Structure 1
Amino acid sequence: MKGFNFYRFFCAFTFVLFAFSSIAQETSIMIRAKAKDAKFIGSSIGGAKILVKDALTGEILVEGITSGSTGNTEKIMKQDRKRNEMLSDDKTAGFNALLDIQQPKFITVEAYAPVNKKQAQVMSSTQLWVIPGKHIKGDGVVLDIPGFVVDILSPQTHERLASTEKIEIKANIVMMCGCPVTEDGIWDASQYEVKAILRNSEGISEEIEMNQKNKESTFQADLSLDKGLYEVLIYAYDPVTGNTGVDKTNIIVN
């Protein structure tokens, strides 16, 4: 072809190809945190803190909090699930991470949940490749969060109590999504082992069984203690799933 300069054409084509390939593409990744043996962690319990990092450098690329509902109880806890059938819907808690990437990137996704319950908070993580423009939607990346949230309600921290009176031990125990624990409920209180361990300053300990009574998720026991300084530890344990949770405080008995 007259006047055709192959070298110039090749250079121009290479430049255009390079320019096109170097344009960052917005890529979305739906990230969810789901309590083990329960539902999704959302707004009702404060959500899960999500960090998306460059797996090689540790740089935080994007971060946020999951928000939305805990999901459909019937679908999540009672129905059989078929392959590729979603557990979530458009109201289910999640965090939509948006990444501007020019080429495939290997990332680490971390979930810290429940974000507002420090004594119960655990970290779950996974890693995956993200391809520019190839969105991850639907259920997305689901991180499993094991455990129970255990909150000691009574006695209060550093409370002074009389050795001559009965001492009430009380704790609120819920799933990591905030779902309630009740007798004969979906999360059956009778399935879980809940105990208080009281240890004095000499290292002598006493273990007390606690039961769910008048109020959902509330476990109680009464006992008497000799004078001294005590650490109170309350734990919940599910022998079926392996879920565990702990809270601790200190009291003074006069």
Structure 2
Amino acid sequence: MLWCNLSPAIAQETKLMIRAKAKDAKFIGSSIGGAKIIVKNSLTGEILAQGLTAGSTGNTKKIMEEPVVRHQELAEESTAGFEAILDVKEPTLVNIEGFAPLNKQQARVKSSTELWVIPGKDITGDGIILEFPGFVIDILSPQTHEILSAKDSIELKANIVMMCGCPITKGGLWDANQYEVKALITGENGQSKEIKMEQKEKVSTFFAKAQLESGLYEVLIYAFDPVTGNTGVDKTNIIIK
């Protein structure tokens, strides 16, 4: 008869490289404030590790232009990521949540996945990549609660970038001509009008003008990519007198 001597399990340090990648763009790193990463025990909810992705957005040519083959790594040493170091005694199912871009609340979305972590079996290289769809939109004009005259044209201006902060320009890698960008202006009577906005003069900046009667208005600016399904929104309120 074969006998086995059983001994208590000992926790082993296990490393997980976790990266946040913008849909149809590059990695989310230090230049836009990073992604908040939280690793939890899926069964108990215990937080095992947490932190921010830090580093560069990555190699544009490798990520966006060259064909990708099986097992090819997109990340390089400087590419943004968060290395979670876990102490686990046994194979553990973990939940990985990411919130990005962390510093842009109106654009921030959650992405998550689950996987088994085996003690001592590091996951490195590209590691675990969470994808974040969307656009980051900041309304630059009109300003929040700004009081404007009905006699004057209202300038609509918004800065729009990919979730990694990558710029949008006409004819560029992220082509402004591909995206539908509009201002949706809604009065206190519930009636709305849509105004097309265009990128011009400045990288990632979209413009339009509107003429409004006296009243209270909500200004919502959205971007939509019919190719990838990426969407983004920002909104503000103004007063016309």
Q: Report the secondary structure of 2:7's partner residue.
A: helix
Could you state the TM-score of these two structures normalised by the residue count of structure 1?
Answer: 0.93
Q: 2:63 aligns with which of 52, 66, 76?
A: 76
Unaligned runs of 5+ in 1: 1-9
Residue among 104, 115, 120 paired with 1:133: 120
1:59 is displaced (CA, Å) by 1.6
Q: Is structure 2 residue 223 aligned with structure 1 residue 206?
A: no
Separation in 2, partners of 1:223, 1:158: 17
Counterpart mapping for 1:112-127 below 5 A: 112-127=99-114
Alpha-carbon distance in 1 for matches of 2:129, 2:206: 31
Aligned residues: 239
Alignment partner of 1:170 out of 157, 175, 178? 157
Aligned to 1:101: 88
Residues 1:235 and 2:203 aligned together: no
Give the secondary-structure state (helix, strand or coil) at the position aligned to 1:18: coil
Three-state SS of the structure 2 residue aligned to 1:53 is: strand
The answer as to 2:32 corresponding to 1:18 is no
Structure 2 residue 239 is matched with structure 1 residue 252: yes
Residue 206 of structure 2 aligns to which amino acid in structure 1? F
Amino acid at match of 1:218: T
| Equivalent residues in 2 for 1:27-46, closer than 5 Å | 27-46=14-33
Residues of 2 paired with 1:100 and 1:161: CA distance? 58
Deviation of 1:60 after TM superposition, in Å, equals 1.2
Distance 1:199 1:222 in 2: 15
C-alpha separation in 2, matches of 1:57 and 1:242: 35
Note if 1:67 corresponds to 2:50: no
Superposed CA deviations along residues 65-87 of structure 1, whole A, max 9, x for unmatched, are: 00000000000000001110100
Which of residues 76, 84, 87 in structure 1 aligns to 2:74? 87
Once the two structures are overlaid, the 10-residue window that deviates more, 50-59 or 162-171, is: 50-59
RMSD between aligned residues: 0.8
Q: Deviations over 1:181-236 (max 9, x none)?
A: 00000000000000000000010101000000100000000111000000000000
Extract structure 1 runs of 4+ deviating beyond 4 A.
Answer: none
Instruction: Say which SS state the counterpart of residue 74 (structure 1) adopts.
Output: helix
Separation in 2 of the partners of 1:57 and 1:208?
49
| Structure 1 position 57, deviation (Å) | 1.7
Q: Which runs of 5+ in 2 are unaligned?
A: none
Partner of 1:56: 43
